[in-house]
């Protein structure tokens, strides 16, 4: 129980008096037609699961992105397995019932829907072509009868879709991912679509062509551009969009690039690329657990390890006339061709995989011991092996020419990092070579890593309009999951620390995600109740939803955590799908009380692993 809640429980008389006062104030507002009803501001809230719909299938992304239409009381949920949108009747939020399906194949044969958004009875969907590198489509439907209104051609691999606050414009992040062998790499872009006349949408495109040729300058700013042979416009992969309250500006996460794009909506122009920088895991407050093999919780500082924020979801809110951006820092590695034997046999034209374990990267025997297994040929083309700088990594045992204990499984050995950065380079960006004794030597064949870059920041962050970091949750999420305050299950009776950093598709898997991205914050929604703004963060791997009061962007406060997974010990959760609970939260949507079917604020969560759409009620205290 939070301090705010425990304090209120000791003051029932005051709580009752405040409740009566608020009731009287709201009644007065209701009786005065000249004044709008002012929503009361809660002291705090708790999440309660009140309903759910199950697609009945496990581990195939059957429930991803939800969107809600207040007029029809219908919920629209992306079902990636079906490549469609499931339409649910939400008039009784305790018992959502499937009404029908929006099927993209009527718009584009063989296509599938990646994202959905709703505004005043109009449903917009982002449609991926059967060949993902081909142009996609955006289609509009009526929420009331699911009739198709119109569709238009947009960029390759359209992902997240959203409306501007006035509903007149639809924005789509066209990710433009490469083909699996990286031979085709379409340009990323943002489609800006005028839907003021839904029957005749007009498309404009904000692209990145102006940044092609500026790759060196962009890299010097800290922007990750590293796809093999890719220009800046190809390497930028838009993931998620947030829009300012006035509808003038959009910000777009470029997840793999660890950056944001700033877009002027009126002119359909990318006006800036904002690097997000890196998180110093050697700094107090930024600790993390790096090993999935020791079966213990070991959250500590690791000098020389830097976290790449690599945010997925993003939302915006306003404070004092300024826009703030909230990101869920999931992390994401490029891994193309990883199922192609020819790639692992050494054919670099068949893919590109940037992820590698520290223990394999800095083994004294070099890279070839991993040949034919998990050695990326592009890494082997750089050098025959790699070393850790002992002046930085001496704390875990590194000496000249030998990483020693740093490679151990309970140290840094199990940590997944990107081999594409962190090694020493000259003024031209070429690697500085060392010999096996750790001495700089032009004839040497070893890279020297001064830093190791891990995926995601295991946190959520708040940024200002220009991409400057305002606040980051640091190590708080992992530390909370390891604490006695954190409990699991709908009844909140299971200790989180017994299943710390578990995977969403595993049973009894304590610590299994510590080598990768930890709890993996991915989905995110923001909602305002009265004068307070709350962030809801879905933890993809550990599961559950964290709630923070972010009213003051410089000092967010954790309010609640609900994880409805009940069975944590069955080896294969799919065998207990009916009772296991919700696994793998992907997309979240906040429904304010004024739009809610039961008159109370709700949070709907699409859980991709369990295939369930969960309806959570926000129980407010005053």
Whether this prediction's pTM lies above 0.85 is answered by: yes
Q: Does residue 519 lie within any of the structural domains?
A: yes
306 in any annotated domain? no
Task: Give 252's strand partners.
Answer: 241, 261
Both 94 and 145 in one domain: the answer is yes
pLDDT tens profile 211-241: 999 999 999 999 999 999 999 999 999 999 9
Domain termination site, one of 394, 428, 454? 454
Same domain, 46 and 164: yes
- CATH number of the structural domain spanning residue 174: 2.130.10.10
Cβ count within 10 A of residue 202 = 12
Domain that holds residue 30: 1-38
Contact 241, 196 (CB under 8 A): no
DSSP letters spanning 288-346 = B---SSS-S---B--TTEEEE-----EEEEEETTEEEEEEE------EESTT-HHHHTT
Q: pLDDT per residue over 349-391, tens digit each?
A: 999 999 999 999 999 999 999 999 999 999 999 999 999 999 9
Residue 560 lies in a domain: yes
pLDDT digits over 89-129, tens only? Answer: 999 999 999 999 999 999 999 999 999 999 999 999 999 99
What is the chain's mean pLDDT, rounded?
94
pLDDT tens sequence across 535-590: 999 999 999 999 999 999 999 999 999 999 999 999 999 999 999 999 999 999 99
pLDDT at 37: 73
Q: Domain total for the chain?
A: 3
Residue range 427-478, pLDDT digits in tens: 999 999 999 999 999 999 999 999 999 999 999 999 999 999 999 999 999 9
Q: What is the mean pLDDT of residues 273-278?
A: 98
Same domain, 393 and 527: no
Q: Does residue 242 lie within any of the structural domains?
A: yes
If asked whether residues 351 and 315 sit together in one domain, one would say no
Residue 293 belongs to a domain: no
465 and 442 within one domain: no
In a domain, 287, yes or no: no
The verdict on 66 and 15 lying in the same domain is no
User: Do 582 and 449 share a structural domain?
Assistant: no
Q: How confident is the model at residue 38 (pLDDT cuts 50, 70, 90)?
A: confident
Q: Is the pLDDT of residue 33 over 90?
A: no
CA 480: distance to chain centroid? 19
Q: Which residue in 328, 130, 129, 424 sits closest to 139, CA to CA?
A: 129
The burial class, CB within 10 Å (0-12 / 13-18 / 19+), for 43 is middle
The number of C-alpha atoms within 13 Å of 282 and in the hemisphere containing its C-beta is 12
Same domain, 476 and 390: no
Q: Is 80 exceeded by the pLDDT of residue 2?
A: no
- Residue ending a domain, among 416, 433, 454, is 454
Query: Residue 460 and residue 443: Cα distance in Å, rounded?
Result: 44
Q: Is 444 left (phi over 0), alpha (psi -120 to 50) or beta?
A: beta
Indicate whether 270 and 377 sit together in one domain. Answer: no
Q: In what order do the strands lie in the sheet with 112-119?
A: 112-119, 122-128, 135-142, 148-156
Over residues 393-399, the mean pLDDT reads 98
Residue 28 has pLDDT above 70, yes or no: no
Q: Cα angle at 257 between 256 and 258, to 5 degrees?
A: 95
| Whether residue 461 sits in one domain with residue 438 | no
How far is it, in rounded angstroms, from Cα 105 to Cα 52? 27
Residue 405 lies in a domain: yes
Same-domain pairing of 43 and 1:
no
51, 73: one domain: yes
Distances (CA, A) of 157 to 118, 137, 204, 578, 594: 20, 9, 16, 33, 35
Is residue 462 assigned to a domain?
Answer: yes
> What is the per-residue pLDDT across 306-342, written as a single tens digit (0 to 9) for each?
999 999 999 999 999 999 999 999 999 999 999 999 9
Q: What are phi and psi of 89, to 5 degrees?
A: -80, 120
Percent of the chain with pLDDT strictly greater than 70? 94
Determine the 3-state secondary structure of 407 from DSSP.
helix
Domain C-terminal end among 454, 486, 518: 454
């Amino acid at each position: 129980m939070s301090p705010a809640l425990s304090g209120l429980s000791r003051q029932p008389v005051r709580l009752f008096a405040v409740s009566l006062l608020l009731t009287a104030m709201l009644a007065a507002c209701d009786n005065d037609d000249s004044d709008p009803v002012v929503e009361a501001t809660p002291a705090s809230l708790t999440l309660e699961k009140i309903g759910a719909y199950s697609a009945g299938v496990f581990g195939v992304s059957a429930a991803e992105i939800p969107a809600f239409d207040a007029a029809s009381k219908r919920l629209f949920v992306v079902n990636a397995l079906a490549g469609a949108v499931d339409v649910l009747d939400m008039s009784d939020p305790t018992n959502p019932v499937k009404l029908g399906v929006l099927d993209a194949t009527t718009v584009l044969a063989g296509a599938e829907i990646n994202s959905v958004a709703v505004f005043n009875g109009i449903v917009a969907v982002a449609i991926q072509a059967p060949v993902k590198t081909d142009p996609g489509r955006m289609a509009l439907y009526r929420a009331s009868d699911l009739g198709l209104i119109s569709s238009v051609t947009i960029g390759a691999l359209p992902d997240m879709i959203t409306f501007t606050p006035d509903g007149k414009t639809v924005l789509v992040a066209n990710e433009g991912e490469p083909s699996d062998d990286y031979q085709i790499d379409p340009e990323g872009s943002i489609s800006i679509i005028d839907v003021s006349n839904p029957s005749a949408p007009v498309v404009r495109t904000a692209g990145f062509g102006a940044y092609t040729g500026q790759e060196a300058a962009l890299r010097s700013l800290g922007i990750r551009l590293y796809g093999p042979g890719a220009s800046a416009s190809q390497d930028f992969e838009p993931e998620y969009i947030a829009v300012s309250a006035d509808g003038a500006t959009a910000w777009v996460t470029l997840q793999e690039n660890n950056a944001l794009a700033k877009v002027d909506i009126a002119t359909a122009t990318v006006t800036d690329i904002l690097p997000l920088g890196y998180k110093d895991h050697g700094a107090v407050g930024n600790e993390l657990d790096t090993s999935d093999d020791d079966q213990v919780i070991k959250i500590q500082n690791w000098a020389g390890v830097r976290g790449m924020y690599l945010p997925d979801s993003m939302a915006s809110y306003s404070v004092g006339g300024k826009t703030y951006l909230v990101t869920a820092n999931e992390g994401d590695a490029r891994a193309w061709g990883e199922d192609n034997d020819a790639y692992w046999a050494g054919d670099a034209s068949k893919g590109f995989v940037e992820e590698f374990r520290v223990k394999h990267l800095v083994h004294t025997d070099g890279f070839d011991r991993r040949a034919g297994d998990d050695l990326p040929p592009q890494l082997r083309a750089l050098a025959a092996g790699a070393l850790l700088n002992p002046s930085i990594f001496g704390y875990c045992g590194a000496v000249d020419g030998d990483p020693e204990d740093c490679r151990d499984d309970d140290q840094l050995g199990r940590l997944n990092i990107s081999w594409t950065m962190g090694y020493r380079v000259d003024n031209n960006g070429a690697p500085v070579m060392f010999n096996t004794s750790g001495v700089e030597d032009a004839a040497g064949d070893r890279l020297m890593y001064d830093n190791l870059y891990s995926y995601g920041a295991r946190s959520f962050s708040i940024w200002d309009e220009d991409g400057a970091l305002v606040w980051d949750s640091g190590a708080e999420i992992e530390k909370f999951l390891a604490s006695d305050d954190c409990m699991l299950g709908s009844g909140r009776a299971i200790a989180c620390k017994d299943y710390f950093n578990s995977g969403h598709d595993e049973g009894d898997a304590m610590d299994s995600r510590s080598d990768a991205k930890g709890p993996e914050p991915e989905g995110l929604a923001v909602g305002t109740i009265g004068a307070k703004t709350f962030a809801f963060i879905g933890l993809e791997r550990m599961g559950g939803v964290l709630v923070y009061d972010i009213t003051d962007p410089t000092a967010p406060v954790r309010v609640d955590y609900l994880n409805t997974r009940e069975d944590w010990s069955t080896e294969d959760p799919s065998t207990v799908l009916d009772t296991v609970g919700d696994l793998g939260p992907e997309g979240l949507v906040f429904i304010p009380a004024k739009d809610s079917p039961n008159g109370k604020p709700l949070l709907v969560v699409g859980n991709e692993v369990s295939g369930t759409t969960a309806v959570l009620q926000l129980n407010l205290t005053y």
